[in-house]
Chain A
Amino acid sequence: QSVLTQPPSVSAAPGQKVTISCSGSSSNIGNNYVSWYQQLPGTAPKLLIYDNNKRPSGIPDRFSGSKSGTSATLGITGLQTGDEADYYCGTWDSSLSAGEWVFGGGTKLTVL
């Protein structure tokens, strides 16, 4: 059971838009920055969004992030078949004394 809750799967047609939610609490999302990762089959995760809504160099603006209260959302527009992957949110959780990094359970995106 992950500390951060994501839908197991989402799907949309090529060219459409999809959003992936990530729900947490005040000890994690509510008071810390959220980042998002894309993992293609058999590869290491790739950073898509950091500090809630910033894109690293090289990440297209089709990918966007937002945060409100204890929830965060990843948006992907102009879906492409190459976007089929697992997506994870992550943030710091300060509920334990030293804090721990936590990930969501992951969301499998299918581009129909």
Chain B
Amino acid sequence: QVQLVQSGAEVKKPGASVKVSCKASGYTFTSYGISWVRQAPGQGLEWMGWISAYNGNTNYAQKLQGRVTMTTDTSTSTAYMELRSLRSDDTAVYYCARPLMVTSDAFDIWGQGTMVTVSS
């Protein structure tokens, strides 16, 4: 079945970087883009950006420009999200998500989430 499996929880100090992975299976990885969405404790969903698994094109949320980098490894069908210069307000659950269809932006397949805690 189609699924996205993310890496495990992380604890980081302020100023550090974190890299979260999202391994896809059950479909042709390069046919769909991957978006990253985060959710701070008790808060709503925040879109972080998108990467094309076909050609690596990216579109990052303006708020995170300069701190976030999204990449893919097509040989392992894995997407990565790296966030640098971590702050306490980056503490959140980070999700990767795939759209329902190639022609749709609606997120149908979600990873299980990765908790990132930023604390000194």
Seen from chain A, the residues whose Cβ lies within 8 Å of a Cβ on chain B are 2, 33, 35, 37, 39, 44-47, 50-51, 56, 88, 90-92, 96, 98-106
Contact = CB atoms under 8 A, between A and B. Distances in A.
Contacts of A37: 45, 107
B45 A35 contact: no
A47 B47 contact: no
Kindly state the interface size class of chain B when it binds its partner. 20 to 34
A96 B106 contact: no
Nearest to A32: B105
B110 A45 contact: yes
A100 B107 contact: no
Interface of B: 35, 37, 44-47, 50, 59, 61-62, 95, 97, 100, 104-108, 110-113
Given A44-B111, A44-B113, A47-B100, A101 B35 contact: yes
A24 B106 CA distance: 17
A75 to B, nearest CB: 18
Contact of A106 (B45, B100, B110, B111): B45
A98 B107 contact: no
B interface SS class: strand
Given A2-B44, A88-B44, A47 B112 contact: no
Contacts of B113: 44
Contacts of A96: 62
A36 B91 CA distance: 25
28 contacts: A33-B105, A35-B105, A35-B106, A35-B107, A37-B45, A37-B107, A44-B111, A45-B37, A45-B97, A47-B106, A47-B107, A47-B108, A50-B104, A50-B108, A51-B106, A56-B100, A88-B44, A88-B45, A90-B47, A90-B107, A100-B59, A101-B35, A101-B50, A103-B37, A103-B44, A103-B47, A105-B44, A106-B45
